[in-house]
């Protein structure tokens, strides 16, 4: 154990309390998005619903661990000058839960990238390996933190393990975001019909990847610069919440994209709906030229089941939307 200065003690406890408050707010958003998902997409496949439910339960358990940790630091051990060097079991479990949530979301987006890249193993397999390595590093961190019971002792012996986990998380975020953006841009056709929705998806991808990677990098910086002050831990509390919200936002964004498609159809430009799990709509317009400048457009909508975004993109590109008679 080490005795910290009063300034570092206040800063550490303040960071833990603020981190817990932010986590509570983000967990509320996770709950809201989960309820919204089950109300809007009740016809999704069972496997998709199961993934959403697992993410929600893990996030709820993580929030419980954060609340327990803050109670132990601020109430049970009130007045102890060296308390912020002590590692409670709730802190270790919260780190493990963060890793599990992170790898679930990473593998979800890696699978989406795999389908979007039309089965490119050279791109997706390294990402999956790095994601698994990240969770292994986090589990080692959890075990050693609980065993040693001291942040100082852990920093002296296994500092590189926690550092490796944060670095791998940021690298995987960057690779997934870059890969998705690259393949989405490759699918652009140069026309408003197809490119508008691809721009929306690209924006979602960049926003989600940027938020999680920046938070992870800031936590890493504080861990390397001020390991005896728990600012990095307060930031680490929020990481799992950001990943959970990123996953759920991606699922619920399908309704927004569908609304965009329907609004475009009123002006004769029906956009392909992506991110759907079932019931994607495909428009096949037949325009009849009667020898004058008058044209009659008949929209035929065919409903069929599809599984993921890449299949929809490839199907829409293979089937032209309009033919003139």
Closest CA to 190 of 182, 199, 181: 199
pLDDT 10s digits, 163-192: 999 999 999 999 988 888 888 777 666 666
Average pLDDT over all residues of the chain: 78
Lowest mean pLDDT among 125-134, 178-187, 237-246, 286-295: 286-295
Residues 324 and 265: their CA atoms lie apart, in Å, by 18
Q: What is the pTM of this model?
A: 0.76
pLDDT at 258: 64
Percentage of the residues of the chain whose pLDDT score is greater than 90? 47
Closest CA to 15 of 245, 244, 223: 223
Residues 87 and 227: beta-carbon distance below 8 Å: no
Residues 136 and 142: their CA atoms lie apart, in Å, by 10
Placement of tokens 């325009």 in the chain: 287
Contacts of 234 (CB under 8 A, 6+ apart): 15, 16, 18, 19, 20
pLDDT band at 113 (very low <50, low <70, confident <90, very high): confident
pLDDT 10s digits, 14-36: 999 999 999 999 999 999 999 99
């Amino acid at each position: 154990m080490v005795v910290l200065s009063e300034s570092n003690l206040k800063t550490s406890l303040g960071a833990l309390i603020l981190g817990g408050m932010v986590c509570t707010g983000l967990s509320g958003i996770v709950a809201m998005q989960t309820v919204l998902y089950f109300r809007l997409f009740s016809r999704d496949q069972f496997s998709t619903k199961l993934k959403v439910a697992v993410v929600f339960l893990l996030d709820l358990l993580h929030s419980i661990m954060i609340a327990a940790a803050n109670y132990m630091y601020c109430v049970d051990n009130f007045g102890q000058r060296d308390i912020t060097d002590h590692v409670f079991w709730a802190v270790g479990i919260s780190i493990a839960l963060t890793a599990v949530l992170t790898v679930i979301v990473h593998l979800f987006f890696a699978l989406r990238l795999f389908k979007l890249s039309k089965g490119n193993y050279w791109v997706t397999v390294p990402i999956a390996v790095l994601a698994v390595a990240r969770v292994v590093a986090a589990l080692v961190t959890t075990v050693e933190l609980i065993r040693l019971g001291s942040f100082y002792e852990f920093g002296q012996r296994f500092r590189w393990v926690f550092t490796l986990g944060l670095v791998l998380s940021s690298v995987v975020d960057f690779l997934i975001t870059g890969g998705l953006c690259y393949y989405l841009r490759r699918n652009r056709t140069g026309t408003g019909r197809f490119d508008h929705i691809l721009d929306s998806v690209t924006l979602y991808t960049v926003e989600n990847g940027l938020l999680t990677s920046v938070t992870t990098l800031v936590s890493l910086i504080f861990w390397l610069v001020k390991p005896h002050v728990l600012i990095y831990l307060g930031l680490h509390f929020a990481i799992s919440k950001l990943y959970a919200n990123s996953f759920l936002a991606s699922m619920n964004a399908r309704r927004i994209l569908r609304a965009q498609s329907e609004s475009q159809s009123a002006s004769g430009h029906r956009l392909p709906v992506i991110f759907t799990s079932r019931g994607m709509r495909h428009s096949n317009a037949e325009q009849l030229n009667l020898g004058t400048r008058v044209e009659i457009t008949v929209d035929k909508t065919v409903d069929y089941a599809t599984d993921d975004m890449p299949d929809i993109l490839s199907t829409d590109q293979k089937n032209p939307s309009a033919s003139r008679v």
